[in-house]
């Protein structure tokens, strides 16, 4: 298919808008599929405002606006000429049963990775990253985590299902290698002395040049299998008002997109985009930011 035919097909971009970027809504894991996108509509681990269970569909709806561009600026190739992407739909679990959610997320993640696919997941609150990392760990061993967030999510005093604690057990379970992992955008309280990760805090994430931040990430991660966990509250509330625990002083969407784009030469194995909570959003600002960051990640995969 030429780019032009693609363009004509996508003129109907507001028709049947049920999947991310209008991709096939399918659980097919055959050879023709390269990347799987899936939703995890779970927000029982929120400590602030709930609503992230509506994140996957918010992101899908906002992605409609991104369908028409065959070659996303400033990339130089058409994404779907290189990469076949399916939307797996949302995982289903028993209401109120966080154990069930964790079991199902880890099992589905393992199944998708076993089939040789890359995986992009939409939360849900940030707690969904823990079962995702369990699934990824089986295939890749301890991962280098590139974590975008206003919060470190390493509080050891939280409950067993808490979206502010899961990177603490993730280290204990050796799902991630803390010495290869880096957090960007942190601007809330954490224990500086005991903290296991390298941190580029919110002020530095705003003040350093994008190239300097990217260089620090490459220095930290090296050639380890790298997993991006993007909590949308890394962005300033001006750019992501639709989230459960917004914190002033974050980075712009532009800066976040440049940072993701800059990670394309790492050994990227997966990404999650979490904490988009459409009930608090305005004009789809947050959902659109989430959808665009996710699209940027797909371009990074396709650039290989």
Binding site for Mn ion (CB under 5 A): 126, 149-151, 153, 231, 233
- Cα dihedral 275, 238, 146, 53 in deg (nearest 10): 10
Identify the CA nearest to 154 among candidates 171, 169, 167.
Answer: 167
Q: How far is the CB of 22 from Mn ion (least distance, A)?
A: 29
State which residue, 144 or 240, has the beta carbon closest to Mn ion: 240
State which residue, 85 or 184, has the beta carbon closest to Mn ion: 184
Burial classification of residue 8, based on how many CB atoms lie within 10 Å of its CB (0-12 exposed, 13-18 middle, 19 or more buried): exposed
State which residue, 22 or 278, has the beta carbon closest to Mn ion: 278
Q: How far is the CB of 161 from Mn ion (least distance, A)?
A: 14
Q: How far is the CB of 19 from Mn ion (least distance, A)?
A: 26
Q: How far is the CB of 205 from Mn ion (least distance, A)?
A: 13
Element holding 35 (H helix, E strand): strand 35-40
Q: Return d(Cα 256, Cα 252) in angstroms, integer.
A: 6
Strand 182-186 and strand 85-90: the pairing is unpaired
State which residue, 117 or 151, has the beta carbon closest to Mn ion: 151
Q: How far is the CB of 128 from Mn ion (least distance, A)?
A: 10
Q: Return d(Cα 304, Cα 79) in angstroms, integer.
A: 11
State which residue, 23 or 126, has the beta carbon closest to Mn ion: 126
Q: Return d(Cα 96, Cα 100) in angstroms, integer.
A: 9
Q: How far is the CB of 254 from Mn ion (least distance, A)?
A: 20
Cα-based angle 93, 94, 99 (whole degrees, multiple of 5): 80
State which residue, 165 or 292, has the beta carbon closest to Mn ion: 165
């Amino acid at each position: 298919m030429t780019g032009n035919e693609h363009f004509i097909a996508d003129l109907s971009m507001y028709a049947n808008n049920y999947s991310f970027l209008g991709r096939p809504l399918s659980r097919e894991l055959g050879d023709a599929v390269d990347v799987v996108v899936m939703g995890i509509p779970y927000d029982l681990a929120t400590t602030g405002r709930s609503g992230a269970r509506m994140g996957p569909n918010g992101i899908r709806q906002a992605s409609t606006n991104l369908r028409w561009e065959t070659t996303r600026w400033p990339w130089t190739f058409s994404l779907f000429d290189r990469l076949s992407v399916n939307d797996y739909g949302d995982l289903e679990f028993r209401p109120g049963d966080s154990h069930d959610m964790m079991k199902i997320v880890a099992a589905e993640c393992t199944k998708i990775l076993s089939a040789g696919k890359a995986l992009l997941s939409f939360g849900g609150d940030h707690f969904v990253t823990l079962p995702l990392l369990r699934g990824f760990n089986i295939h890749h061993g301890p991962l280098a985590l590139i974590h975008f967030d206003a919060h470190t999510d390493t509080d050891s005093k939280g409950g067993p299902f808490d979206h502010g604690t899961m990177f603490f057990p993730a280290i204990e379970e050796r799902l991630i290698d803390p010495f290869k992992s880096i957090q960007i955008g942190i601007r809330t309280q954490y224990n500086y002395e005991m903290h296991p990760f390298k941190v580029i805090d919110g002020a530095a994430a705003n003040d350093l040049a994008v190239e300097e931040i990217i260089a620090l990430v490459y220095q930290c991660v090296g050639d380890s299998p790298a997993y991006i966990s993007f909590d949308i509250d890394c962005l300033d509330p001006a750019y992501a008002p639709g989230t459960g625990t917004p914190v002033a002083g974050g980075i712009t969407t532009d800066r976040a997109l440049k940072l993701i784009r800059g990670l394309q030469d790492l050994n990227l194995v997966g990404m999650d985009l979490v904490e988009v909570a459409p009930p608090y959003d305005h004009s789809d600002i947050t959902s659109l930011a989430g959808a665009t960051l996710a699209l940027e990640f797909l371009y990074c995969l396709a650039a290989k």
